[in-house]
Structure 1
Amino acid sequence: MSVELIASAVALGMAALLLVWLSLVMAAAEGAVSRVTKSSLNNLVLGLQTDGELSQFSRMKRIDKVHRVQGLIVDRHATTGSCAFFRVLCNIMTGVLVSSMAGLLRLPVWADLVSGFVFSLLVAVISVKARPRFNGARKPLDIMLRHARAVALAVALTPFARPSKAERGGAGRDDDLSDDEELEKIQIEQGRVMVDQLVEAGAFDPEISEMLNSVLTLSTTLTREIMVPRTDMICIGQETPLASALKLFSRSGFSRIPVIGEDVDDLKGILYLKDVVKAIAFEPEAEDRVAGSMARKAVLVPESKPVDDLFHSMQRTRHHLAIVVDEYGGIAGLVTIEDAIEQIVGELEDEHDRIQHDEPQRIGEHTWKLPARTPIAELEDIFEIDIDEDDVDTVYGLLTKLLGSVPIVGSSAVTRGLKLTAADAAGRRKKIATIIVEPAGGPDQREKTEADGTGLDEAQA
């Protein structure tokens, strides 16, 4: 056998090994490209620009790598397709090269085929053991920076790997989402699938699964979705005496109430129950002080803030209540840290919440105790009257309409000869649970009793 043939066989063997390495690189990049975010690359550039230990040459060289990766993730679908194409091509070519090398050594034809097949099988085993995609998913940024040139060359040589707009739409891509938003959506879906798989495997019960799924959606849930709207806020006027404020605290069941001026948008701060109690307990004359003099500065959050950011912010600053503002700077509602927790653990109810689901109860000859959710039609049947209110459906809604504000315990109003009185509140938000209905003094008498010292048009559920 001539030296030339041996040299050619060795060259083919080296080329086959190089293709095996390139196949593993493409597989790792294929797993990494879908997990590198634009924000992480921007942060890396900022860090390199402010690193005083790097020379100008090293800094520019590393920043150039980052820019190359930024170009690759502009179209993740095209980059992933190019990596997949070259990975398959390399696997095919390794078998071809080994078969050719066996042919140069003048082995029988069957030996050429067997050698190519065995080497391809060996490469497949190595790929499984090395798990390049797993490594790419675990350290995506490092993988992409290390092999940016090879991946960029693969993308440049495979323009046909770029998917068409129709193919992207068929894959379920939302054109309204940015690239990073789409990536986050995909990762959340992958997390849900993983949680479901753990439940099926018996790793934990379905309740834990529901909590984990709730955690995954915190970043996509906005504050406006969990807040108490402004129409359900109980506020207190800044000129209200502390004695009246203490009564409002007691009747509403809240420990923090917004202080306002002329209207809800004229926010002055937050009044704390413990501040009022402390002032009155040690200074009896403090009862004549006004609520505005003791209001603390309110924490404002935008209604578009994700719930996970809201929760961490309130936890870090140790604030349990924040005022939500809309895009125009107006008051949209309020939110508490318990509202964020409920997104994870579900609705928080206490031992009194069951009365909200009870049946109407007769407590006197002409007096009934009705759950707040009782339909008006049922109230009409009990007292054999026609209330004729089309814009509200429940007894609670009727009382709210008559009062012009959200009722608190003790609030009452009269309509069609019936007196409706808010009896008690239940739940974490202290929403009225039961309403006492009884005959009033006159058939069409109508009156309204407001909370002591509030003089408000808004209330808080």
Structure 2
Amino acid sequence: MTASVWMILTVILLMAVAGVLSTVETAVSAISRARVTEMVRDEVAGAKALVRVLDFRARNVNVLVLLRTLCEVAGAVLVAVIAMEFIHSDAWAITAAIVAMTLFSYLVLGVTSRTLGRRNPYSISLASAVILGGVSRLLGPVEKLLIWTGNVLTPGGGFRDGPFSTEVELREMVDIARERGIVEHDERRMIQSVFDLASTSARSVMVPRPEMVWIESEKHAGQAVALCVRSGHSRIPVIGDGADDIVGIVYLKDLVHQTYTLTDGGRSVPVTDVMRQATFVPDSKPLDDLLDEMQRDRNHIAVLVDEYGGVAGLISIEDILEEIVGEIADEYDEDERAPIEPLGDGRYRVVARLSLGELIELYDESEGREIRFDDGVEDEVDTVSGLIAYGLGRVPLPGAEVEAGGLRLTAEGARDRRGRMRVHAVVVEPVDPAPADAGAGHEQEEN
């Protein structure tokens, strides 16, 4: 055989390998760990090897991309050499090689191979898992070196596991699925919320310290039962010398178990004899880590501590789940204020603790209105009530009003159980942006 024939056969082989690599890459990126785990339980051939591949999915995908790129580049060079042998003009030969490789790469590697990978992701992944695992271990150091080099050269830094399989891509896939009607709006919101757990701190969804319900340690079990009934809470912190001295958590179930046979209404049982140990976590802890910890420890409530060691608030596992599925109400929550209440004409009544991000998303999705605050506002403010306080320069009272970001915010509230005036809700309505300071406001105090 002549050299040209050998080069043609080599190009065919390289493109075939590149097509297989593209198919496997697409298949491995599309499979679900949960389903593969079920395959392991069902003793499906290759399932155990596939689980090991998924343990390092990003690394394995990176290796596939590396090998596919190598095959494509080598094939392109050989096609250019072959073209130069048959076409006397080097310029036309290179042009022909570029056109041929572009069409082949797009049609075969970009469309056909990826379509096959998406149609049969599990069968292809199972068939290739053993070989992929071995190749990945062999080329792993090379892949890590190239990723590290690329990240060093990337302005602003790169991704630790490379850019080929990122959360951003998954978010875009969810958005595309929503646009094509594959997933509903609520399903898209839940999926996006799962991604957001890692970047959401416990502080942003906690019950803040001023709204906490607690009982003093010198009280008896009967008083704790009464407080649970009045407040509607089944778990209440027990404090010692003050709100920063939480000595335990008392559970309504434990209280009932200890007192239902007593004739004195639980007066003979100190609340400290019934309480359980409290769990303390930093208020900066990401929600995904906190959820894992609470599931592992079978704990449904935790006390959040700020950077100075003081109690910042409380968080329950229900609060975290509500970040994914939305508000969860039971038969005892009939009078609980909805976090967002439409009032018509672009007006909403929202809870004071609603985050600025949720407010911006509300007007973007429901009204098609883009909300922009002054520079620095979103760095200084977390909640809607905090935005009013920021505009006023002091703690707001019911009746306080500010304008910011093209919105007018009016505080609503009443006296709390200790007789103090508290802002519980905020009425938000769009207005034309003021030409002067967007954070200006005034306050109408209610006595």
TM bracket (short chain) = 0.5 to 0.7
- Asked whether the 8 Å contact 1:98–1:119 carries over to 2, the reply is no
- Asked whether the 8 Å contact 1:255–1:273 carries over to 2, the reply is yes
1:340: Cα distance to partner? 0.7
Matches for 1:398-417 after TM superposition, within 5 Å: 407-408=416-417, 411-412=418-419
Structure 2 residue runs without a partner (length 5+)? 31-57, 342-349, 353-391, 401-414, 426-445
Matching residue within 281, 296, 308 for 2:288: 308
2:226 matched to which residue of 1?
A: 247
Could you say if the C-alpha distance between residues 25 and 304 of structure 1 is closer, same or farther in structure 2, counting changes exceeding 3 Å?
farther
2:304 matched to which residue of 1?
A: 324
1:15 maps onto 2:10 in alignment = yes
Matches for 1:227-266 after TM superposition, within 5 Å: 227-266=206-245
- Asked whether the 8 Å contact 1:257–1:272 carries over to 2, the reply is yes
- Asked whether the 8 Å contact 2:11–2:75 carries over to 1, the reply is no
- Amino acid aligned to 2:289: D
1-structure distance, mates of 2:79, 2:338: 75
SS at 2:304 equivalent = strand
1:393 matched to which residue of 2?
A: 396
2-structure distance, mates of 1:356, 1:342: 11
Deviations 1:318-366 (A, max 9, x none): 43212223456553321111101110122346432469999xxxxxxxx
- Asked whether the 8 Å contact 2:303–2:315 carries over to 1, the reply is yes
Larger Rg: 1
1-structure distance, mates of 2:339, 2:204: 23
Deviations 1:30-89 (A, max 9, x none): 989999xxxxxxxxxxxxxxxxxxxxxxxxxxxxxxxxx98x99xx8xx99977864543
Is 277-286 or 113-122 further displaced after alignment? Answer: 113-122
- Asked whether the 8 Å contact 1:242–1:287 carries over to 2, the reply is yes
1:258: Cα distance to partner? 0.8
Matching residue within 317, 320, 323 for 1:343: 323
Deviations 1:364-412 (A, max 9, x none): xxxxxxx998xxxxxxxxxxxxxxx984433499xxxxxxxx933xx44
How large is the RMSD of aligned CA atoms in angstroms?
Answer: 5.5
1-structure distance, mates of 2:137, 2:259: 69
1:179 maps onto 2:160 in alignment = yes
SS at 2:276 equivalent = coil
1:248: Cα distance to partner? 2.3
Could you say if the C-alpha distance between residues 243 and 164 of structure 1 is closer, same or farther in structure 2, counting changes exceeding 3 Å?
closer
Matches for 1:338-377 after TM superposition, within 5 Å: 338-348=318-328, 350-353=333-336
Matching residue within 245, 252, 267 for 1:287: 267
1:380 matched to which residue of 2?
A: none
Could you say if the C-alpha distance between residues 280 and 320 of structure 1 is closer, same or farther in structure 2, counting changes exceeding 3 Å?
same
2-structure distance, mates of 1:213, 1:189: 11
2:345 matched to which residue of 1?
A: none
Higher relative contact order (CA 8 A, sep 6+): 1
| TM-score (norm: length of structure 2) | 0.54
- Asked whether the 8 Å contact 2:209–2:311 carries over to 1, the reply is yes
- Amino acid aligned to 1:93: V
- Asked whether the 8 Å contact 2:239–2:248 carries over to 1, the reply is yes
- Asked whether the 8 Å contact 1:303–1:326 carries over to 2, the reply is yes
1-structure distance, mates of 2:2, 2:393: 94
| TM-score (norm: length of structure 1) | 0.53
2-structure distance, mates of 1:372, 1:247: 27
SS at 1:288 equivalent = coil
- Asked whether the 8 Å contact 2:23–2:113 carries over to 1, the reply is no
1:225 matched to which residue of 2?
A: 204
Structure 1 residue runs without a partner (length 5+)? 1-5, 36-68, 104-109, 359-370, 374-388, 398-405, 414-419, 427-437, 440-461
1-structure distance, mates of 2:192, 2:166: 12
